[in-house]
Amino acid sequence: MKKLLCFGLLSLLLSIGCKEEIPTVPESPAVKQISRGADISFLPEIEESGIQFYDQNGVASSMVDIIKKYGVNTIRLRLWHTPENGHSGLREVSDFTKILKAKGFKIFITIHYSDTWADPGNQTKPSAWENLSLSVLGDSVYNYTKQVVEILNPDIIEIGNEISNGFLWPEGKISNESNFIMLLKKGIAGARAATIDKRKILIHSAKLDVSNWFYSILQTNNVDYDIIGVSYYPFWTKIKPQQAVDELMALSNTFGKDAMFAEISYPFTLNWNDFTNNVIGLEEQLLTGYPATPAGQKLILTELRQAIDKTNKGIGFCYWAPEWVAFKGNQSTSGSSWENLALFDFDNKALPAWDAFKE
């Protein structure tokens, strides 16, 4: 018995001594989650018109199911405070968000803090807040943001839309830095205070060339946010996808944040499908090497996607208004100014550029 015990002890000691020689299987690197997004805020209104969308094979389907099939995993929706016709208001956005979540999409909400479009040239306060004092305006921003986040429970919440010139004008203009920062922090605090799952806060700059200056202001004032979001419209910036991604990553490195393109778009044609003046329609507006063709549109999105995928802190992109077809008919003067920048052709068939969204 003693000999057996000694042999067992010797075996144990030998096994311990040889432990470090046992080969191990290395852990697989974490796969970066890329937001392949689409801002389809017009879709509820478009669907009321009875428009039918088709996939790349010409098969009729719901637009949401089509883009899900092609790899979109995040939906961005704008939120207006008290819109005149109800579209993009809280009720519509809430109802639409429930449908989208049930289909497995992540939700990205951009609060415009306005009853209508908010952008670098327009940041009009909601009419309900028009005569509020600055302190009450700040409280309203806090309470409204908290309510919105609790109702919608988004994965990403954007405080203001393209706010590099400020928001909630005139009080919140960027030129009045102390007011702007106070109102921005009120919105962020409201989002953080919402008693739901944690969500990421994105701050959105209109253009790459003003972004370093803009985010420096946020850094100086200790603004608490998670994601840098920048609009990239190649027909205005005239810079190619790789350069745009390089500049985005420079911002990410400087300010220590994840970063994404919150809005992007490019035309597949310079023609039109209704009598509404289009935003883009001239050859000189195009980026050299990227024609306004289905192939040119796909090329620019593919290059952008590939460049983002190679970064460490680039977390995605979001195509703006891929669904904004000429849904009011080809004679309308108040239809779509964007139908040649959509990701559906003039027959509402999905374009090749959707391939850039695939896994």
158, 171, 247, 263: the catalytic one is: 263
Residue 140 identity (one-letter amino acid): S
Q: What CA–CA distance (Å, rounded) separates 123 from 117?
A: 8
**What tokens were used for 69?**
């099939």
Q: What CA–CA distance (Å, rounded) separates 251 from 210?
A: 11
DSSP 252: H
162, 171, 247, 323: the catalytic one is: 162
Coil, strand, or helix at residue 79?
A: strand
- Angle at alpha carbon of residue 93, lines to 89 and 98, rounded to 5°: 155
92 a catalytic residue = no
Determine if the peptide bond prior to 126 is cis (ω within 30°): no
If you compute the radius of gyration of the chain from its CA atoms, what whole number of angstroms results?
A: 25
Helix 90-102 / helix 134-152 crossing angle, nearest 10 deg: 30
Coil, strand, or helix at residue 80?
A: coil
Cα separations in angstroms, 35 against 114, 153, 289, 317, 334: 26, 17, 26, 6, 32
The closest alpha carbon to 59, from 69, 47, 49, belongs to 69
**What tokens were used for 182?**
């106070």
Q: What CA–CA distance (Å, rounded) separates 232 from 239?
A: 9
Coil, strand, or helix at residue 126?
A: coil
84 a catalytic residue = no
For residues 80, 82, 84 and 85, what is the CA-based torsion angle, rounded to 10 degrees? 70
Strands in the chain per DSSP E:
35-39, 53-54, 60-61, 74-79, 106-111, 156-159, 200-205, 227-232, 258-264, 314-320
Catalytic residues: 162, 263
